A = this chain, B = another copy of it.
Amino acid sequence: MKTQLFISHPDIHRSTTQQFLKATASNEEGINIVHLDEEKEFAVDYHRELIKKADRLILQFPLYWYSCPYSMKKWIDEVLTTHLVIPNQIKELGIVVNVGKKATAYQAGGSERFTLSEFLRPFEAISHILGWKYLSPFVIYQFDYMSEPQKQQMLVDYLRYLTQEDYFSTKAKEDWFIKRANQYAYTTNESINYFEFIQTMKENQDTRLELEWMVKEMKE
Protein backbone atom coordinates (compact mmCIF):
# COMPACT_ATOMS: atom_id res chain seq x y z
CA MET A 1 0.00 0.00 0.00
CA LYS A 2 1.30 3.45 -0.95
CA THR A 3 0.75 6.23 1.55
CA GLN A 4 1.20 9.87 0.64
CA LEU A 5 1.66 12.16 3.64
CA PHE A 6 1.19 15.92 3.25
CA ILE A 7 2.30 17.91 6.30
CA SER A 8 1.39 21.53 6.94
CA HIS A 9 3.07 23.43 9.76
CA PRO A 10 4.50 26.94 9.41
CA ASP A 11 7.20 26.33 12.02
CA ILE A 12 7.80 22.60 11.92
CA HIS A 13 11.32 22.74 13.35
CA ARG A 14 10.01 24.08 16.64
CA SER A 15 7.13 21.61 16.92
CA THR A 16 8.07 18.64 19.09
CA THR A 17 4.91 16.81 17.98
CA GLN A 18 5.65 17.17 14.28
CA GLN A 19 9.33 16.28 14.73
CA PHE A 20 8.32 13.15 16.63
CA LEU A 21 5.80 12.10 13.96
CA LYS A 22 8.09 12.93 11.05
CA ALA A 23 10.98 10.94 12.52
CA THR A 24 8.67 7.94 12.79
CA ALA A 25 7.15 8.17 9.34
CA SER A 26 10.48 8.86 7.63
CA ASN A 27 11.82 5.42 8.49
CA GLU A 28 8.88 3.62 6.94
CA GLU A 29 8.79 1.98 3.56
CA GLY A 30 5.86 2.90 1.36
CA ILE A 31 5.35 6.36 2.85
CA ASN A 32 6.19 9.45 0.83
CA ILE A 33 6.36 12.70 2.82
CA VAL A 34 5.87 16.25 1.52
CA HIS A 35 6.15 19.27 3.78
CA LEU A 36 3.95 21.90 2.17
CA ASP A 37 5.49 24.93 3.88
CA GLU A 38 8.83 24.21 2.20
CA GLU A 39 7.33 25.05 -1.20
CA LYS A 40 6.77 28.70 -2.02
CA GLU A 41 4.55 27.85 -4.99
CA PHE A 42 3.06 24.42 -5.46
CA ALA A 43 3.99 22.39 -8.51
CA VAL A 44 0.33 21.61 -9.10
CA ASP A 45 0.73 18.82 -11.67
CA TYR A 46 3.36 17.08 -9.57
CA HIS A 47 1.13 17.16 -6.49
CA ARG A 48 -1.78 15.77 -8.49
CA GLU A 49 0.44 12.90 -9.62
CA LEU A 50 1.34 12.17 -6.00
CA ILE A 51 -2.36 12.02 -5.17
CA LYS A 52 -3.16 9.76 -8.11
CA LYS A 53 -0.39 7.31 -7.23
CA ALA A 54 -1.37 6.93 -3.57
CA ASP A 55 -3.73 4.41 -2.02
CA ARG A 56 -4.01 6.41 1.17
CA LEU A 57 -3.64 10.18 1.51
CA ILE A 58 -2.85 11.64 4.88
CA LEU A 59 -3.21 15.35 5.65
CA GLN A 60 -1.29 16.14 8.82
CA PHE A 61 -1.39 19.49 10.64
CA PRO A 62 -1.88 21.22 13.98
CA LEU A 63 -5.36 22.66 14.49
CA TYR A 64 -5.11 26.42 13.91
CA TRP A 65 -8.28 28.34 14.70
CA TYR A 66 -10.37 25.19 14.36
CA SER A 67 -9.06 24.28 10.91
CA CYS A 68 -5.84 23.54 9.01
CA PRO A 69 -3.07 26.17 8.74
CA TYR A 70 -3.33 28.33 5.63
CA SER A 71 -0.56 26.53 3.72
CA MET A 72 -2.76 23.42 3.71
CA LYS A 73 -5.76 25.48 2.61
CA LYS A 74 -3.67 26.98 -0.21
CA TRP A 75 -2.73 23.47 -1.28
CA ILE A 76 -6.38 22.39 -1.19
CA ASP A 77 -7.49 25.46 -3.20
CA GLU A 78 -4.80 25.07 -5.84
CA VAL A 79 -4.18 21.33 -6.16
CA LEU A 80 -7.54 19.67 -5.63
CA THR A 81 -9.92 19.41 -8.56
CA THR A 82 -12.89 17.20 -9.31
CA HIS A 83 -10.79 15.84 -12.20
CA LEU A 84 -9.07 13.78 -9.53
CA VAL A 85 -12.19 11.64 -9.32
CA ILE A 86 -11.35 8.27 -10.87
CA PRO A 87 -14.32 5.88 -11.06
CA ASN A 88 -13.91 2.51 -9.32
CA GLN A 89 -10.63 3.53 -7.76
CA ILE A 90 -10.43 3.03 -4.00
CA LYS A 91 -8.51 5.76 -2.30
CA GLU A 92 -8.61 6.74 1.36
CA LEU A 93 -8.24 10.09 3.06
CA GLY A 94 -6.96 10.31 6.62
CA ILE A 95 -6.48 13.39 8.80
CA VAL A 96 -3.79 13.54 11.48
CA VAL A 97 -4.41 16.56 13.67
CA ASN A 98 -2.80 17.60 16.93
CA VAL A 99 -4.55 19.93 19.33
CA GLY A 100 -3.50 21.84 22.43
CA LYS A 101 -6.68 21.34 24.41
CA LYS A 102 -7.80 18.11 26.05
CA ALA A 103 -10.41 15.84 24.46
CA THR A 104 -13.23 16.94 26.77
CA ALA A 105 -12.98 20.52 25.48
CA TYR A 106 -14.39 19.39 22.12
CA GLN A 107 -18.03 18.74 22.92
CA ALA A 108 -21.24 20.62 23.56
CA GLY A 109 -20.72 22.62 26.73
CA GLY A 110 -16.93 22.28 26.48
CA SER A 111 -14.69 25.31 26.01
CA GLU A 112 -14.44 24.68 22.24
CA ARG A 113 -18.20 24.01 21.96
CA PHE A 114 -18.08 21.57 19.03
CA THR A 115 -16.58 18.17 18.28
CA LEU A 116 -13.57 17.71 16.03
CA SER A 117 -15.80 15.72 13.68
CA GLU A 118 -17.76 18.96 13.21
CA PHE A 119 -14.73 21.23 12.79
CA LEU A 120 -13.34 18.83 10.19
CA ARG A 121 -16.56 18.61 8.14
CA PRO A 122 -14.93 20.40 5.18
CA PHE A 123 -12.40 17.54 4.90
CA GLU A 124 -15.14 14.95 5.15
CA ALA A 125 -17.07 16.71 2.38
CA ILE A 126 -13.95 16.97 0.20
CA SER A 127 -13.39 13.26 0.64
CA HIS A 128 -16.99 12.55 -0.33
CA ILE A 129 -17.02 14.78 -3.41
CA LEU A 130 -13.77 13.25 -4.68
CA GLY A 131 -15.04 9.71 -4.13
CA TRP A 132 -12.50 8.90 -1.42
CA LYS A 133 -13.14 6.89 1.72
CA TYR A 134 -12.87 9.10 4.79
CA LEU A 135 -10.99 7.55 7.71
CA SER A 136 -11.98 8.74 11.19
CA PRO A 137 -9.44 11.47 11.99
CA PHE A 138 -6.43 10.55 14.08
CA VAL A 139 -6.39 13.17 16.82
CA ILE A 140 -3.44 13.78 19.13
CA TYR A 141 -4.50 15.64 22.26
CA GLN A 142 -1.91 17.56 24.30
CA PHE A 143 1.19 15.75 23.08
CA ASP A 144 3.45 17.67 25.45
CA TYR A 145 1.59 16.37 28.50
CA MET A 146 1.89 12.71 27.42
CA SER A 147 4.09 10.32 29.37
CA GLU A 148 6.80 8.42 27.48
CA PRO A 149 4.77 5.15 27.36
CA GLN A 150 1.72 7.13 26.13
CA LYS A 151 3.83 8.64 23.36
CA GLN A 152 5.13 5.23 22.33
CA GLN A 153 1.60 3.83 22.24
CA MET A 154 0.40 6.81 20.20
CA LEU A 155 3.28 6.27 17.79
CA VAL A 156 2.28 2.68 17.12
CA ASP A 157 -1.33 3.75 16.51
CA TYR A 158 -0.07 6.52 14.22
CA LEU A 159 1.98 4.06 12.17
CA ARG A 160 -1.01 1.78 11.87
CA TYR A 161 -3.13 4.73 10.73
CA LEU A 162 -0.58 5.43 8.01
CA THR A 163 0.19 1.89 6.88
CA GLN A 164 -2.35 -0.70 8.01
CA GLU A 165 -4.62 -1.85 5.20
CA ASP A 166 -8.28 -2.23 6.10
CA TYR A 167 -7.79 0.09 9.06
CA PHE A 168 -10.91 -0.79 11.05
CA SER A 169 -10.56 -4.60 10.87
CA THR A 170 -9.32 -6.49 13.93
CA LYS A 171 -7.75 -9.21 11.79
CA ALA A 172 -5.83 -6.60 9.79
CA LYS A 173 -4.61 -5.07 13.04
CA GLU A 174 -3.33 -8.47 14.25
CA ASP A 175 -1.69 -9.18 10.89
CA TRP A 176 -0.03 -5.76 11.01
CA PHE A 177 1.52 -6.55 14.40
CA ILE A 178 2.65 -10.02 13.30
CA LYS A 179 4.28 -8.57 10.17
CA ARG A 180 6.05 -5.92 12.25
CA ALA A 181 7.26 -8.45 14.80
CA ASN A 182 8.64 -10.61 11.99
CA GLN A 183 10.61 -7.66 10.68
CA TYR A 184 12.01 -6.84 14.13
CA ALA A 185 12.75 -10.48 14.94
CA TYR A 186 15.55 -10.63 12.38
CA THR A 187 16.96 -7.13 12.73
CA THR A 188 16.92 -6.16 16.38
CA ASN A 189 19.46 -6.81 19.11
CA GLU A 190 16.84 -6.32 21.81
CA SER A 191 16.26 -9.08 24.29
CA ILE A 192 12.51 -9.31 23.49
CA ASN A 193 11.60 -12.74 22.17
CA TYR A 194 9.70 -11.71 19.05
CA PHE A 195 9.22 -15.30 17.89
CA GLU A 196 7.34 -16.13 21.07
CA PHE A 197 5.26 -12.96 20.68
CA ILE A 198 4.38 -13.91 17.08
CA GLN A 199 3.48 -17.45 18.13
CA THR A 200 1.14 -16.19 20.89
CA MET A 201 -0.38 -13.58 18.61
CA LYS A 202 -1.13 -16.18 15.91
CA GLU A 203 -2.65 -18.60 18.39
CA ASN A 204 -4.86 -15.86 19.82
CA GLN A 205 -5.93 -14.88 16.35
CA ASP A 206 -6.83 -18.49 15.49
CA THR A 207 -8.87 -18.83 18.69
CA ARG A 208 -10.68 -15.56 18.01
CA LEU A 209 -11.50 -16.46 14.40
CA GLU A 210 -12.73 -19.90 15.50
CA LEU A 211 -14.99 -18.34 18.13
CA GLU A 212 -16.33 -15.85 15.59
CA TRP A 213 -17.07 -18.73 13.22
CA MET A 214 -18.88 -20.68 15.96
CA VAL A 215 -21.01 -17.66 16.94
CA LYS A 216 -21.92 -17.18 13.29
CA GLU A 217 -22.89 -20.87 12.93
CA MET A 218 -25.04 -20.72 16.05
CA LYS A 219 -26.90 -17.67 14.76
CA GLU A 220 -27.71 -19.43 11.53
Contact = CB atoms under 8 A, between A and B. Distances in A.
Interface string A113-144: 11000110110111011000000000000000
B119 A114 contact: no
Interface residues of A, number: 27
Contacts of A68: 73
Contacts of A67: 67, 73, 122
Contact of A121 (B70, B111, B121, B128): B121
A70 B65 contact: no
A66 interface: yes
A125 B69 CA distance: 16
Interface stretch (A52-60, A74-82, A149-157, A166-174): A74-82
Given A64-B76, A70-B74, A118-B121, 10 more contacts: A64-B77, A65-B122, A66-B121, A66-B126, A67-B73, A68-B73, A70-B70, A70-B71, A111-B129, A112-B129
Interface of A: 10, 64-71, 73-74, 76-77, 80, 111-114, 118-119, 121-122, 124-126, 128-129
